[in-house]
Structure 1
């Protein structure tokens, strides 16, 4: 049986779209991709024509994703992340000439990627990132892995682990959501029962929840709150940026969203919890210079 040819938009258009969506500006996408703003606009206009729908709403010099754009962005971002991870995994560097880091898709996308160039420069050798799910992958048993990121204490000695960031969270939402619900947000969290709250549905591995946040404010989570569940934190943040509701934003993971204005903080106070994200060296890596240098980098740049 003859296989049907796959139909996808051009990779150039998808790269332009992903960068513009992530940065919130066509001009920033142009800078990132080393091209002109007009080229980004042409790619996205062509993509919208090809799909038969608009993907952005243009407001005051910024470009915000609409519903169709959000859906496409989630798929494109995940696809590019998967391609990058596979390319790194099958790179030609022998295992003893590279550092292999294991982490979730969320930590790869939101924590490691913004720091990847600096981490690579520190290592001085190739870095591979392997993504995994906490529920079905025993990373410490994999002989290829040098470093793993975990919210749980894996029992490593202090010299073989570093705090990537201490957990501190703050509610965030899209600027349009903040404007539409200005009165309720101003009255305070005790009255947020009518506001949609976005939350993770995956097995909790130690991170803070809405219940934890409300308890830290001396409150119970409002009864009847509209809970929207997501099994991936990247998707949750994208939904928040699309105006779907309030999300808990982790310091160390949300900076790109705040910097581009896709999300705004509700209030100015992070609530801190004693639940750090740890970078832990495996037994294989404890005597490797490249691994120790990267662990030191993470420790010295802890958020």
Structure 2
């Protein structure tokens, strides 16, 4: 399966572009992020924590460059550094949920309504997308959804135990009907992503929820996805300082700072005509005025 990165489908081109990007912006992680994929014989890129990896038999999970990966229950791969902060079940994501609600409140955008936040497998996310009749953009991988319809969702309810080499063993799931009296029934996010990527996705989906709960209906898709990307980017920006403050306490702070910059750059340079162009359009308006004024403009623009 090819990895669509910045709108590019061809794997060899993806790897070249990614190598050039990371080697110029993130020199210290050039080898671990890219070189293993570039030197492998069976090159394949699978999307999860944004690293490239070499496609290997299940029993041989070390790349030629020594980078280790574990396979999640739904077939996705995760590097060990990202595994350190991976959010693995619905219970684990709740503190991040509350943190992002506080982030919105700090922007004078408090979300009053309560609704489900569930971590799910790839297949459950796909089924929910189909039931919501979401018209996903070509080449865009869905990793989160803001639901407006009542439906049965199967979520990851318990962190899987870790076996040899930190390999997750089994997965505990439960099915439940998500129902709400408001315009949002639930937010679903793909499980097993590193905390920063999970937080960015959640901030993006929470902005969709804010718009629906505050009467922003029938918005232009470019504007809606654009403002949601702006909020995700703003949350990542807030984590730049949070990571710096935590550097004395956490050995992974240096890695997290690099991941923040990588994710921000990916948003800023996204070639998608909806997500990328939408972000740049809305972000320019926010920079020229304010977030609140931009929301007023979006309501007028529709």
Q: By the TM > 0.5 criterion, same fold?
A: no
Larger radius of gyration: 1
For normalisation by structure 2, the TM-score amounts to 0.27
Which structure shows the bigger proportion of residues in strand conformation?
1
For normalisation by structure 1, the TM-score amounts to 0.27
The structure showing larger relative contact order (alpha-carbon pairs under 8 Å, at least 6 residues apart) is 1
